[in-house]
Homo-oligomer: A and B are copies of this chain.
Amino acid sequence: MIRFENDYAEGAHPKILEMLTKTNAEQTPGYGMDAYCERAREIIRGLCKNERAGVHFLVGGTQANAAVISAGLRPYQGVVSPDTGHIAVHETGAVEAYGHKVLTIPSLNGKITAGQVEEMCRAHLADNSREHTVQPGMVYISQATELGTLYSREELTALSSVCRRYGLYLFVDGARLGYAVADRGCGLGFADIAALCDVFYIGGTKLGALFGEAVVITNEALDRDFRYIIKQHGGMLAKGRLLGLQFCALLEDGLYLELAGHAVSQALRIRDAFAAKGFEFICDSPTNQQFPILPDAAAEKLSKKYAYSHWTKTDETHSVVRFCTSWATKPSDVDELIGDIAAL
């Protein structure tokens, strides 16, 4: 079975295991106060062109999301999210477990617009019974989105501007940020994201690390006491250096974007093969996830040899499926898939 199911099927890029092995016997302070974490922080601040950003390392995305959101909201506030947002659908109510409602907005291609956020804020303020409803306090989006799409510079700037006008934090879930930054069309780099939002993270789990997300907080009010929040959320790894080391390995010399670039290239080859065969997609994705709409018979045939995700049915005889590449995807596997697509 050749697997295109997700981007976390393997371990880590070999460089990471090498660094872990090489430094294994060193004794370091715990809880993220070691020299590797400090070095990773400096690298990230450099990439973000923000020397004062708070940088914190957490083990996984659900934890990072819940920590950031509960740090940013007052008790009666909620977090605005696309209805397809990870926090809205795939975290078993982790945000609610900390007391906050997820206020969903209908999304198009996994994205929401500045106009929608503004309308929600305006409607809230115009409502005489607003104290009986949850107040929007933060906007959560993903770059890349759950559907592989990207916010353009214009779109993100508009969202940023609305959030600042209405006093909402803007939070960018970057579990797949590398694939977004790797995209040439989008043109939004780390420093752009850092400048436009209050907090975001650089995802490691889905891009070459064993695990780990680097949360970058550019808004000082939000960064205050954030380490207490991490500890309370069970997110303060005793051997914090494991996180620092991995981000050093990925970011110190461009490996992260190189791996992302590889994954995106392979994904686009798959996209082109489906397109050449005349299949449609639920949306145009320039990143490592592709969502073609296949006749069930064709999907069935491919499934004998390839593992991929079933997404949803579109009608009696067609389904949306997801093919996902990663830093570890072999071009020869993609070659084989392309051949089989052509032969459908």
Taking Cβ atoms with an 8 Å cutoff, the residues of A that contact B are 3, 6, 8-12, 14, 17, 20-21, 23-31, 59-60, 62-66, 70-71, 74-76, 78, 89-94, 96-102, 129, 131-135, 205-206, 210-211, 225, 227-239, 241-242, 328
Question: Which of A11, A23, A236 is the most central at the interface, judged by chain B CB atoms within 10 Å of its CB?
Answer: A11
Given contacts A14-B24, A96-B134, 9 further A-B contacts (CB under 8 A): A3-B27, A17-B20, A59-B59, A60-B238, A65-B234, A75-B98, A90-B132, A97-B232, A99-B99
Which secondary structure dominates chain A's binding surface? Answer: loop
**Contact (A234, B90) CB under 8 Å given A9-B30, A25-B328:** no
Contact of A242 among B93, B97, B211, B232 (CB under 8 A): B211
Question: Which of A100, A131, A133 is the most central at the interface, judged by chain B CB atoms within 10 Å of its CB?
Answer: A131
Cβ of A71: which chain B residues have Cβ within 8 Å of it?
74-75
Let me know if A76 and B129 touch, CB within 8 A.
no
Closest to A103 in B: B93
Give, as a whole number of angstroms, the nearest-CB distance from A342 to chain B. 24
Cβ of A29: which chain B residues have Cβ within 8 Å of it?
9
Let me know if B30 and A12 touch, CB within 8 A.
no
Closest to A94 in B: B232
Let me know if B99 and A96 touch, CB within 8 A.
yes
Closest to A34 in B: B9
Let me know if B242 and A205 touch, CB within 8 A.
no
Question: Which of A27, A31, A90, A241 is the most central at the interface, judged by chain B CB atoms within 10 Å of its CB?
Answer: A27
Let me know if A62 and B231 touch, CB within 8 A.
yes
Let me know if B228 and A131 touch, CB within 8 A.
yes
Give, as a whole number of angstroms, the nearest-CB distance from A264 to chain B. 20
**Contact (A24, B8) CB under 8 Å given A75-B98, A129-B90, A131-B92:** no
Cβ of A211: which chain B residues have Cβ within 8 Å of it?
237-239, 242
Let me know if B239 and A76 touch, CB within 8 A.
no
**Contact (A20, B24) CB under 8 Å given A76-B229, A232-B93, A234-B63:** no
**Contact (A12, B27) CB under 8 Å given A135-B228, A232-B92:** no
Closest to A104 in B: B104
**Contact (A92, B134) CB under 8 Å given A233-B234, A234-B63:** yes
Cβ of A14: which chain B residues have Cβ within 8 Å of it?
24
Contact of A98 among B17, B27, B63, B99 (CB under 8 A): B99
Cβ of A241: which chain B residues have Cβ within 8 Å of it?
11
Let me know if A231 and B131 touch, CB within 8 A.
yes
Let me know if B92 and A96 touch, CB within 8 A.
no
Between A and B, 23 residue pairs with Cβ closer than 8 Å are: A10-B24, A11-B20, A11-B23, A11-B242, A60-B237, A65-B234, A71-B75, A75-B229, A76-B97, A89-B133, A92-B133, A92-B134, A92-B228, A94-B232, A96-B99, A97-B233, A131-B225, A131-B230, A132-B236, A135-B228, A210-B239, A233-B234, A234-B234
**Contact (A76, B101) CB under 8 Å given A10-B24, A239-B11:** no
Question: Which of A12, A65, A96, A210 is the most central at the interface, judged by chain B CB atoms within 10 Å of its CB?
Answer: A96
